Chains A and B, each alone.
Chain A
Amino acid sequence: MSIATTARERINGTLAESIYDNPVVTREFRTRMRGWKAFTVMGSYTLLLAAFLFIHYLSIAADAGHSFQMESGSLKVGAKMFVTLTVAQAIMLMFIVPSLTSGALAQEVEKKTMELLVLTTIPSGKIVFGKQFSGFLYAMVLLFCSAPLAGICLMLGGISPGEVMATYALIAGTVFLFAAIGVFWSAIFEKTAISGVFTYGSCMFYMFVTSILGESAMYPPPRSAVFSLSLLNPIFAAYDMALTMTKVCGIEFPAWIASVATELILGSLLLLISSGHVRFRKTDKTLVIRLMLLATTLILVWLTIGSFPNFGGGRWSRANSVWEMLAAVSSIILGFMCIMACPLATGEPSRTEKSMLLYAMSGRRAFSKELGGAMSFLALWTAVVYGAFGGTLYWLTKVEHVSFDPQFWPAYLKLGVALVMIVAGVSAVGMLASSIASRRKGAAALVLVFLAFVFAGYTFLLAYHQPNEDTSAPIWQTAALWPITPIMAQCKNWDRTMPTLWWVPNDSWLVTSCIYVALGVIALSIAGTALKKFGGVQED
């Protein structure tokens, strides 16, 4: 038997086992489906959907007047009603799914059943997957309940079975992700109330952000493809987009596949991270998690930037300006990396290392659990993501023949250096916070306070800035501390909005880099002393 066959059998066995012989799934589902509750929810869910559809049907009929019966085919009544069905279903599931899994692990802790569960021989991954899958499965039952209503829409015309299937797949993908988000927060927080708030918050945030992406594709001028992540929000699938194609770096495929795959990958990543919080483990899975994080981000960058020519025209036409694009992407990368520094650059610092500076500079720890690898990993991550962004743009110039301003690439490189340095500096602050706070969450909160300070300071001063006045006040010279400064300068936004500086804004990438390197060195120099004085983070 070849190695490949053995490996495939092993994977198949594990996956199948995780579903068929997973005691967590069995117990959760047994509990969930017992009694009148589950069936009441299913009944009310279907009845509500039916009521929405019925009201919509009546309103269409009223609008069409006497000609309704004659022209119902051309009115595409089915398509219109399917929009109502999808929107109602997506919104209802957004409220139902978090309630199914947001207490998954936290509830076990609160009810004191967690100890007994983790002492068994079920692997942590199977526990986490079981919790997520049972929630997902129940939501699938609900989705299945609505199938007859989708059938009515099909019969009324204007929508194809393929579109219905694609829309259902998109809803299922979102449900999978939401169930994973619930399990993730319930693994992080030991209280169901807190994990519930975070789950609902995350799901709503997701729906909000993805609705912006969806809207970008909703009112298109005639075009061959849409933005590849437009369908992350399943609501938009119903607006005649379920089967639209997308084109990423010249490769064409259905947009719904990109969205479902993205949601499945994100959900699995969250489950993988959650499994590390179930019990203390000797085997370090950091390498797998970090590689998967890198791969996911790369895929997202590729899907986002690669389909950038699809933006052409419509509301997103401004993004055609490559400078705006650079500003937008750099800001997203910067913001994301800084937020990621909160969980990644906090933890238990080594108490045996002589120099925190050397400890933090260690590149070989980048893919290990140790705190010393956080800075190198985050800097590497930023470099790789930013590099992928540049790489995809370069590919586009070749494949899609998009032309760029000749000044673009030098500015891109300068900004890249600044981004890496800022992220490294913020991670150093994270290590200092880990040397002060006694709990990891406390350290993460300190980093958040620092980030709020550096980002909000900029906004605060900008609010008081009058563009016509000569505002070369000394306080403006601290602009280098604000992480957005190099982005504004390189993307040619400085002249319009910002005051005079005694250093040239074009060189702000260098000044900001130096400031953050200095900040990092100072933070790491005092981290050792702080660790001795405060004791630092201690994990159980």
Chain B
Amino acid sequence: MLRIENLTKTYGKLTAVDNLCLEMGAGDIMGFIGPNGAGKTTTIKMITTLLKPTSGTAYVNGVDVFANPEEVRPLIGYMPDFFGMYEDVMVWEYLDFFAAAYKIPVNKRKGTIDDVLELTDLTIKRDSFVSELSRGMQQRLCLAKTLIHDPKLLLLDEPASGLDPRARIEIKELLKELRSMGKTILISSHILPELADFCNKIAIIERGKLVVSGDVESIMDQCRGGTVLKVEMVDRQDEACRILDNLDVVSEVKWNNGCVFATYTGTPGEHYVVLQALSKDGFRILSFTQAEVDLEDIFLKVTTGAVS
């Protein structure tokens, strides 16, 4: 769906994006992570035809972005990190403007607008002025605008930045719905937990260079050297740590907040041996789960912090 080849953008002596190569298949949700100023927005802007690259190219659905920008624009939906709104129009008028701008036939516009309003849960605000919407609602309206022409590839630049927790959760739910609709999404963020339960792929960029990219699981395993198991216990955590440390299949053990974290390096799918080892000694175990993907750890591990 998206293929980026040796994409480079320089501003004078500053190289914002350096020889970036990336690939996304249809239906992929890729987290595009990097510290502020790493080149995420520049890369996305180049894919959206807003910026001309210094060299290299990108293909969306097989179409060369820079040779045929006109053909690429209908295929992508872009939501910038900072965007303005035409505030003196009503919500439906705002969407009608973009529907017309994307050449949706007049007789289909009303239906399409109703659909995206329903999807973004804004139907009740149909006749309100855009200026009357809260920031979270404006963010959803922008997403509705992004979806109006049914794009194949969604490029979302920090979609939840500046939102309160409730609005953040709403946007997250919305994105999950889009995922279930089979959209291909590239979502950039510097806030890692935001992407954790959402993406199947990640790409980490720093100082314009791609540091690592691939499946979330494999990258995590690569960096950690195994799967992290989380054991929630009532007490005797330190004792449990000693026992687990002696196991061959566990490489690293630590505990905090009543939970023991053990890095399992044995055969995949056989980590029940860890539980067996603990249950023998009568530990009072509350839960035994695979620890959630902690992108923060990966991020800190692979980036050097050069930008920040």
A residues bordering B, Cβ < 8 Å? 21, 23, 26-27, 30-31, 34, 111-113, 115-122, 279-282, 438, 535, 538, 540
A121 B73 Cβ-Cβ under 8 A: yes
B residues bordering A, Cβ < 8 Å? 11-12, 48-52, 66-70, 73-74, 76, 78, 80, 82-86, 88-89, 93, 96-98, 100-103, 106, 142, 145
A535 B73 Cβ-Cβ under 8 A: no
- Best-surrounded residue of B67, B70, B97 (most CB of chain A within 10 A): B97
Which residues of A are found within 8 Å of B102, using beta-carbon distances? 120-121
Which residues of A are found within 8 Å of B86, using beta-carbon distances? 27, 31, 113
A23 B89 Cβ-Cβ under 8 A: no
Q: A31-B88, A279-B49, A282-B69 are in contact. Are A112 and B100 (CB under 8 A)?
A: no
- Which residue of the partner chain A has the closest CB to B129? A34
* 8 residue pairs from A and B, CB less than 8 Å apart: A23-B101, A27-B86, A112-B83, A113-B83, A113-B86, A116-B78, A280-B52, A281-B69
The CA of A181 and the CA of B265, in the complex, are separated in Å by 70
The CA of A26 and the CA of B12, in the complex, are separated in Å by 41
The CA of A116 and the CA of B102, in the complex, are separated in Å by 11
B101 A113 Cβ-Cβ under 8 A: no
The CA of A27 and the CA of B130, in the complex, are separated in Å by 13
Closest chain-A Cβ to B135's Cβ sits at a distance in Å of 14
Which residues of A are found within 8 Å of B101, using beta-carbon distances? 23, 117, 120-122
Count contacts between A and B, CB distance < 8 Å. 75
Closest chain-B Cβ to A301's Cβ sits at a distance in Å of 37
Closest chain-B Cβ to A37's Cβ sits at a distance in Å of 10
The CA of A30 and the CA of B145, in the complex, are separated in Å by 19
B68 A115 Cβ-Cβ under 8 A: no
- Partner pick for A21 among B48, B66, B100, CB 8 A cutoff: B100
The CA of A540 and the CA of B69, in the complex, are separated in Å by 16
The CA of A31 and the CA of B74, in the complex, are separated in Å by 26
Closest chain-B Cβ to A230's Cβ sits at a distance in Å of 42
Determine chain B's interface SS by DSSP, over half rule: loop
Closest chain-B Cβ to A17's Cβ sits at a distance in Å of 10
The CA of A503 and the CA of B275, in the complex, are separated in Å by 105
The CA of A122 and the CA of B142, in the complex, are separated in Å by 18
A121 B70 Cβ-Cβ under 8 A: yes
The CA of A438 and the CA of B50, in the complex, are separated in Å by 21
The CA of A115 and the CA of B79, in the complex, are separated in Å by 10
A30 B69 Cβ-Cβ under 8 A: no
B50 A118 Cβ-Cβ under 8 A: yes
- Partner pick for B85 among A27, A113, A281, CB 8 A cutoff: A113
Which residues of A are found within 8 Å of B83, using beta-carbon distances? 112-113, 115-116
Which residues of B are found within 8 Å of A26, using beta-carbon distances? 97, 100
B89 A31 Cβ-Cβ under 8 A: yes
A115 B50 Cβ-Cβ under 8 A: yes
Closest chain-A Cβ to B8's Cβ sits at a distance in Å of 13
- Partner pick for A112 among B12, B69, B82, B88, CB 8 A cutoff: B82
Which residues of A are found within 8 Å of B66, using beta-carbon distances? 282
B89 A30 Cβ-Cβ under 8 A: yes
- Partner pick for B67 among A31, A116, A282, A540, CB 8 A cutoff: A282
Closest chain-B Cβ to A537's Cβ sits at a distance in Å of 11
Which residues of A are found within 8 Å of B74, using beta-carbon distances? 121
A115 B80 Cβ-Cβ under 8 A: yes
The CA of A112 and the CA of B79, in the complex, are separated in Å by 12
Which residues of A are found within 8 Å of B68, using beta-carbon distances? 282
- Partner pick for A23 among B11, B85, B100, CB 8 A cutoff: B100
- Which residue of the partner chain B has the closest CB to A114? B84
Q: Which 8 pairs from chain A and chain B are nearest by CB?
A: A112-B84, A120-B101, A23-B100, A111-B84, A113-B84, A31-B88, A280-B52, A27-B97
B12 A438 Cβ-Cβ under 8 A: yes
- Partner pick for B12 among A111, A116, A538, CB 8 A cutoff: A538
New contact pairs (7) apart from A116-B98, A121-B102, CB-CB < 8 Å: A23-B96, A27-B93, A31-B88, A280-B49, A280-B51, A280-B52, A540-B51
A540 B84 Cβ-Cβ under 8 A: no
Q: A30-B89, A279-B49, A438-B12 are in contact. Are A119 and B78 (CB under 8 A)?
A: yes
The CA of A535 and the CA of B54, in the complex, are separated in Å by 14
Which residues of B are found within 8 Å of A112, using beta-carbon distances? 80, 82-84
